[in-house]
Amino acid sequence: MKKLFLTGVLLVFVVLQTLAAVSLDDFLTRKEVKEVRTIQNESTFERILEVMIEQPIDHCNPDGGTFRQRVYISHVDPSKPVVMITAGYDTKYYYTSEITSELSCNQVMVEHRYFGRSVPDSINWNYLDTWQAASDHHRIVTMFKELYPGQWISTGISKGGQTVMYHSYYYPEDVDARVPYVAPLNFGLEDDRIYSFLDNVGSSRERRKVKKFQKMTLKNQEKYLHAFKSFSEDKGYTYELAGGVEKAYEYCVLEYSFAFWQWGYVPLKKIPGKATQPAEVIEHMNRVAGFDYFSDQFIIEYRPFFYQAMTEMGYYGYDLDAFGKYLKHVDNPIFTFTIPDSVTISFNDELSVEIQQYITEEADNYIFIYGEYDSWSATAVTSTGNTNSKIFVKEGGSHRTRINNMPEEQKKEVFNTLKSFLQ
């Protein structure tokens, strides 16, 4: 009798859940949906739409000012799960998550507030914090559960992965499983775990060759600066915010080791030596470190990222002691130069501690994915405490580590773990 009763309750739950789902067309008539644009479809989805959702600028004052947040809806079937991608930045480029493909399900991709098209008419930096952004995602989940009442998985890459953690820290009941990729958990404006990581990553021979290149390009700045300036002029890069072209050059050299291990684009044998022509050295350095990173153009476009890093998310700096005698311009490794002079910032050094405590004590159903050689693994989540969450590290992996480029057995284990969280 008890078994029959439970079966009946389950049946009623399934029926109610099905009835709760509105059609996609009905959902699009909601007052919060301000724009709808169909984008090129993929055969796996019934429709892919770009929509703009009206959001409060301040979730503490929902009747105040608003902005429109870009969301991509990849629709299959309301009865299937939904993967929510928290982009962390803009969403100029739509993509289908490998998790979405594996589960053959719906997908919702959310652009981060203050990035891309999701920008208020006037910028008030006070409303760019992790709680406001998490509240954007909470409101979207709440709204979209009328369309997709089943299981939800949140995922994101790098800052998007950090955003996954913040969202579930503030709203732990919103989703059923979480998969942050290569997401750091930093403990300061200059998390010095980066330095010990770079002193130990790879082999001693590899580290020596990387440092040798940095010393060569710092000791002989006059030899390479002309090529650096010419390259930058051709690309349209200016460096006023970084303190001028000479200072930007030194920043790019200091960035080289972090970027070399972060991305793993260039094999060790491709690192140039003294006999290489300056233009080739500069081409190589740009391929590894990316000169645009210190350009005015990049800093202004990604200032919301730097603001978040300097106020809550934390960041990294450079070990000036290793190169001090070669530096002529850089004397501060902190990225505060990215923030407008008119904006006052202070760093919340308690939030990451609270996030770590949450992860080790409460955060079930997480899958953390990292690459062994990725510089951001220096500040990775390293313990899930007593939860059922798991950490997967790809051997030799970089910041480009994904489930589908892991070894086959590890890949199977990740997906099997995810599916076990959804049972």
Is 15 inside a domain boundary?
no
pLDDT band at 98 (very low <50, low <70, confident <90, very high): very high
> Which pLDDT does position 44 carry in this prediction?
87
Whether 307 and 363 share a structural domain: no
pLDDT at 4 over 50: no
Whether 156 and 255 share a structural domain: no
Which is higher by pLDDT, 16 or 201?
201
Is 3 inside a domain boundary?
no
CA–CA separation, 369 vs 393, rounded Å? 6
pLDDT digits (tens, 9 = 90+) for 34-87: 999 999 877 789 999 999 999 999 999 999 999 999 999 999 999 999 999 999
pLDDT digits (tens, 9 = 90+) for 127-183: 999 999 999 999 999 999 999 999 999 999 999 999 999 999 999 999 999 999 999
pLDDT band at 191 (very low <50, low <70, confident <90, very high): very high
Domain residue limits at 327: 193-338
Is 290 inside a domain boundary?
yes
Residue-wise DSSP of 142-155: HHHTTT--S-EEEE
pLDDT digits (tens, 9 = 90+) for 363-401: 999 999 999 999 999 999 999 999 999 999 999 999 999
Whether 172 and 315 share a structural domain: no
Whether 331 and 296 share a structural domain: yes
Q: How wide is the angle at C-alpha 186 spanned by C-alphas 182 and 190, nearest 5°?
A: 120
Average the pLDDT over 281-308 and give the result: 98
Nearest to 185 by CA among 403, 396, 391: 391
Is 266 inside a domain boundary?
yes
> Which pLDDT does position 2 carry in this prediction?
44
> Which pLDDT does position 402 carry in this prediction?
98
CA–CA separation, 380 vs 374, rounded Å? 10
Whether 330 and 360 share a structural domain: no
Residue at which a domain ends, from 295, 315, 338:
338
Tokens of 297: 């153009």
Whether 231 and 355 share a structural domain: no
Whether 237 and 202 share a structural domain: yes
> Which pLDDT does position 197 carry in this prediction?
98
Whether 182 and 40 share a structural domain: yes
pLDDT at 3 over 60: no
Whether 98 and 210 share a structural domain: no
> Which pLDDT does position 12 carry in this prediction?
44
> Which pLDDT does position 382 carry in this prediction?
96
pLDDT band at 5 (very low <50, low <70, confident <90, very high): very low
Residue at which a domain ends, from 338, 367, 383:
338
Is 176 inside a domain boundary?
yes
8 A C-beta contact, residue 40 and residue 48:
yes
> Which pLDDT does position 121 carry in this prediction?
95
Whether 182 and 35 share a structural domain: yes
pLDDT at 188 over 50: yes
pLDDT digits (tens, 9 = 90+) for 334-353: 999 999 999 999 999 999 99
> Which pLDDT does position 10 carry in this prediction?
47
Q: Give residues with Cβ within 8 angstroms of 328, minimum separation 6.
A: 221, 246, 250
Q: What is the largest CA-CA distance in the chain?
A: 87
Here the CATH number for the domain that contains residue 73 is 3.40.50.1820
Question: How many structural domains is the chain composed of?
Answer: 2
Whether 326 and 369 share a structural domain: no
Whether 154 and 216 share a structural domain: no
